Every structure is written in C-alpha cells, then in structure tokens.
C-alpha cells in the first residue's frame, strides 16, 4: 500500500458566464454539471477563492446534501478541492446526506467558517432533474449578496483550480479519515457524522420532549402522518418522531432518501404531496406534515386534510409562541415575514406589541435580523417557517412547534386555526404560478406593469368586481432598507395595496430553468366572513390582478400552471 503524500494539482480551466448564484445558490439541470467541462470544479473553486486565504487555511467546513442524483459525485469533488485549497477539516453527513437545517446547526455548533449545501430544494431530482450548490457562511445561513457577488465575479475570470484527484473518501463509514498531502504540514481530516443526533439534541433544548411523547402516546389516541417525500429529512423523522417520541413506524412514510425522490416532486404542497393528502382525507389522522427534499420547508394539515396556509401557520405559532419552552426562557424579540406572505402575522404582532419586519424573499434577510438579536420567529408563504435557533428555515422544527401548541391547547388543528380567524380576522391568500413563460415577454410585462402602477394617477383608482369595490391606497416596487446594516435591496416585487388592506403582488421567480415563472400573490383580509372558500373569496382580486397586468394577453397563457 502506497502511503506517500497525495499530490495536489493545479488544473487550467476556462470561465463560464452563467455561474451567478441566486439566494438559493447555483441551480442547473444535472446534465449541465455533467456535460460542461469543469463546470462543477469552477464553481467550487470560486466558492473557496471567495474565502480569505488566512481564514481558509486549516479551517472547518460542513458539507451535506439532500441525497439527490449527483450528490455523491459532487461531494467527492468538494473533498478533493477542499484539501487542495488548504481547508483543514470537512464534516460530512453519513452517505453525504444532511438536511439543510442540520447543516446550519452543525456550522454553528462546530464554529465552522461555512458550509456547502448540495440541494435544489423542492425541484425534481434524478438524471433528468435538477442539482444545486449553495454556500452558507459562518452564522449558518445563506451567503449574503456581497459574498455571492464575489463568487460570481471570481467565476467570470477563473483560470485554474486546485484539486487532489487521488483523494477518495468513504462516505459510508462514520468516523474520522485522515490524509497526508504533499507540501502540507498537517493532515487533512474528513469526519463522517451522524447528523441526526446533533440536530436532535438541539431540538431537545427547544421543546419539551416529555410533553410531546405524552401527546403522541397510545392513550391519547392522537395519530400523526409525516411524509418525507424521499428527501434528506426521512432519517430525522424516523429517529426523532418514531424512535424518541414514540410514534408508530407507520406514522412516517417515504422516509428512505432516494436520488430521484421516488420519481416524485419533493415539494410539500397539496399538489405534489398526494400520498399524505390522500391518507389524511378519511380522518384517521389528527395531524399531517410533509417536507421538501432538503428538509427546510413544511406543509401542515389537520384532520380530513384541513390545509393550513404557510402564512396562517407562522401566525398561529406566533400567537401561541409561549407553548414552546425555548421562548419561555429566551423571550420574543421580533416577528418577520417576507413581503409576499400574507399579513396574518402582522395582526398578531400588533396585538402583542412585538416588532414586525417585512423583508424581501430570501432567508438571508431574516438571518441578519437574528444575528442582531432583533428577530425570534419568521416565515414565508413558500412553506418556510423557522426560529432563531439556526439561520435556515426548518421543517421539522415547525412540526414540533405545532405539536407543542396542540399538546398545550388541547384542540384540533382546524379548531386552532378557526379560533385564530375569529380572534384576528382572516387573510385569504393564494399564489398563482405561471411557469416557463418566455423570459422576454415576462420582463416586458413586468416593466410595463411597474410604469402603470407607479404613475401618480394610479393611486386612488377604484376597481369594481361584482359587489366589491377596491380602492388603491399604495402601489410601488418594493424595496427594503435593512435595519441592521442599512443595505438597500430594490426591485423586490410590485405591490398594489388597497384601502381595506388587501394586496396584489407580482414577482418574477429566479428558480426556473426553462423560462421565467411569473407569480401573482393575492391577499384579502376579512374581519367577519372568515369561513369562506379561499378561491371564491379571492376571485375579485384575481380578476383585478389579471386586468391590470394583462398577463394572459402578454404571455399567451390562459391560466396558471400551479395554484397554491
């Protein structure tokens, strides 16, 4: 056996112009990473080069992914390049799998300088699916715009990358593996860990596991159904909910991570989490939840499939936040939601006199507030909920938060939500996604729409639909001034706010590869009529939104691809 130090090579390469990471990292079809020479290597080198050499030398970095196709290949490349770039230690999830919340937890626990998350979130997997790479910084959260811009600028001029091609790590065996490299004084260490245990230990310090175990015990006849959609969170669900908290093994479905997510779309919403939705209909389960591929998103269902919108979910948690022991001890510093998310949380914040922040769509804005000690609970309409325990949204945390509230309040999910509506009124909310729209047509429509709504004559305009009249009170292109560092984020979506508090939001999503995704958000507040059908109640706003934007005419679409 050859025990000589492993060789470090410097390999010439040429840049690609399209490696600008979004807030979700760099996402592409798998074939892009496979077919374009050094495409993966270029981006990984750009990430390492964005870290100051003095900080990088001998440092610790966490690596984990959602287990999708190409995850293991990419992990091996990251190991080889980390060693060559002076990183001292990598902490990697068993089999290369680690949920995004667990990555954030581990970065913070081990005081790593950052982490590399291999995920395309709720996008499809498999050889014909999507793959993504995201860099998280030392606070455990997604890199801010200054960091992602630096990575992009490096990727545009990259000429070479460093790699140790002879280094092969065994992802299947837990424990430490050390490697001697030429011209390196200290060995390079890779530690394969059981990421479930460290994450579970964090949750034990947040929730009352004894109370949760009591709720889930046989004598209470409280039955739950959890669907991991064959993503990374499956082992966490089994270990924490089934083994530790005592749920029957049959409570957890689709918990074996698969490279193609079982051929399904790992998106926790009523459209794609059909196994869960179908199993909840007959009323045998009191509580249901689904998670996306990397475990940061969640969907909450009650008995008979009662759907809790993500906007309502964070508002209900906020209103019952002291059912969670962590907040009893730490207190509550602030609430926050992304701008498109319904204003249900605002009403709780006003009633409890807790500061409310409205941010652009990206979890990094929440992280900045948390680091400054200004924020405790936050959420977004796209099925993300979280607290200040880490710097990522956290699907399993949200489930335990709901179970803690149910254990304390001793009411059903549906009764809790309906009681909330009676107390605060209801924000009827939905999102229309028009996917794979021609990019030029979408951009031109948004540009013309902005001109229309920002014209001074647009304010005070009245729109009549059936027996309802909506008067425009405010219309703008949303911009956010970060209260921590003063950074201004512009062009974060177009808003029309009516005098009754109802809102229409238009955004272009940055996560589609085959074209643009135009998103229309409808948020209608009702103080009295809280038990109506959401789509019926929102129909007048939908008519106005389409009339103002002329979306069907401008894009050639007759209807949305997805309604959530």
User: Which residues are part of the catalytic machinery?
Assistant: 121
Q: Two tokens at 344? A: 């249900």
Cα distance between residue 19 and residue 39, in whole Å: 9
Query: CB–CB of 336/381 below 8 Å?
Result: no
Q: Compute CA distances 42 → 156, 208, 209, whole Å.
A: 9, 46, 45
Nearest to 16 by CA among 132, 155, 147: 155
β-strands 130-137, 26-29 pairing? antiparallel
Residue 302, judged by CB atoms within 10 A of its CB (0-12, 13-18, 19+), counts as buried
Burial 377-391 (b: 16+ CB within 10 A, else e): bbbbbbbbbbbbbbb
What is the spatial distance between Cα 382 and Cα 373, in angstroms, rounded to a whole number? Answer: 25
CA–CA separation, 559 and 562 (whole Å): 9
User: Hey, what are 235's tokens?
Assistant: 């082992």
Rounded-to-10 torsion of CA 472, 476, 482, 488: -170
**CA atoms within 13 A of residue 28's CA, in its CB half-sphere:** 17
Buried b (16+ CB within 10 A) or exposed e, 115-143: bbbbbbbbbbbbeebbbbbbbbbbbbbbb
- H or E element: which one contains 133? strand 130-137
CA–CA separation, 185 and 189 (whole Å): 13
SS3 of 76, please?
A: helix
CA distances from 115 to 38, 65, 137, 330 (A): 21, 11, 6, 27
Sequence-ordered alpha helix ranges (H) in 378-438? 395-409, 413-424
| Residues contacting 206, CB < 8 A, separation 6+ | 324, 325, 326, 387, 389, 397, 400
DSSP-derived letter for residue 461 is -
Residue in 139, 118, 123, 154 with CA at minimum distance from that of residue 29: 123
């Amino acid at each position: 056996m050859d025990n000589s130090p492993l060789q470090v090579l410097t390999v010439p390469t040429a840049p690609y112009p399209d490696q600008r990471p979004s807030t979700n990292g760099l996402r592409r079809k798998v074939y892009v990473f496979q077919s374009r020479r050094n495409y993966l290597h270029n981006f990984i080198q750009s990430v390492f080069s964005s870290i100051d050499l003095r900080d990088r030398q001998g440092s610790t970095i966490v690596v984990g992914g959602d287990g999708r196709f190409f995850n293991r290949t990419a992990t091996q490349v990251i190991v080889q390049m980390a060693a060559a770039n002076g990183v001292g230690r990598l902490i990697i999830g068993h089999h290369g799998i680690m949920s995004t919340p667990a990555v954030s937890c581990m970065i913070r626990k081990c005081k790593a300088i950052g982490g590399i998350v291999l995920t395309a979130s709720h996008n499809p997997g498999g050889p014909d699916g999507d793959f993504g790479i995201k860099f998280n910084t030392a606070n455990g959260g997604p890199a801010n715009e200054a960091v992602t811009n630096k990575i992009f600028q490096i990727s545009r001029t990259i000429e070479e990358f460093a790699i140790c091609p002879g280094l092969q790590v065994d992802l299947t065996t837990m424990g430490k593996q050390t490697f001697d490299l030429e011209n390196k004084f200290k060995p390079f260490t890779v530690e394969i860990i059981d990421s479930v245990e460290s994450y579970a230990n964090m949750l034990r310090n947040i929730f009352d596991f004894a109370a949760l175990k009591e709720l889930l015990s046989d004598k209470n006849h409280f039955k739950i159904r959890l669907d991991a959609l064959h993503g990374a969170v499956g082992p966490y669900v089994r270990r924490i909910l089934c083994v530790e908290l005592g749920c029957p093994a049959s409570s957890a479905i689709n918990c074996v991570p698969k490279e193609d997510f079982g051929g399904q779309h790992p998106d926790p919403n009523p459209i794609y989490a059909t196994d869960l939705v179908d199993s909840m209909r007959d009323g045998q389960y009191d509580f249901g939840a689904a998670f996306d591929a990397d475990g940061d998103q969640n969907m909450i269902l009650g008995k008979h499939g009662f759907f809790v919108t993500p906007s309502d979910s964070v508002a209900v948690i906020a209103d019952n936040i002291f059912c969670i022991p962590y907040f009893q001890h730490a207190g509550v510093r602030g609430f926050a939601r992304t701008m498109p998310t319904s204003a249900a949380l605002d009403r709780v914040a006003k009633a409890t006199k807790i500061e409310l922040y409205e941010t652009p769509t990206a979890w990094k804005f929440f992280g900045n507030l948390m680091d400054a000690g200004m924020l405790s609970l936050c959420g977004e309409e796209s099925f993300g909920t979280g607290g200040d325990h880490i710097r990522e949204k956290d699907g399993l945390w949200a489930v335990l938060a709901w179970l803690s509230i149910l254990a304390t309040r001793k009411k059903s999910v549906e009764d809790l939500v309906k009681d909330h509506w009676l107390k605060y009124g209801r924000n009827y909310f939905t999102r229309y996604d028009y996917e794979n729209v021609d990019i030029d047509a979408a951009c031109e429509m948004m540009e013309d729409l902005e001109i229309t709504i920002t014209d001074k004559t647009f304010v005070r305009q009245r729109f009549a639909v059936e027996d309802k009249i909506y008067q425009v009170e405010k219309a703008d292109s949303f911009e956010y001034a970060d209260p921590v560092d003063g950074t201004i984020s512009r062009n974060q979506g177009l808003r029309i706010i009516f005098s009754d508090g109802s809102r229409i939001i238009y955004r272009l999503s940055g996560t589609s590869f085959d074209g643009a995704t135009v998103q229309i958000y409808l948020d209608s507040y009702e103080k009295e009529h809280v038990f109506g059908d959401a789509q019926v109640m929102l129909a007048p706003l939908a008519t106005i939104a389409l009339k103002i934007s002329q979306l069907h005419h401008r894009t050639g679409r007759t209807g949305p691809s997805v309604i959530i």
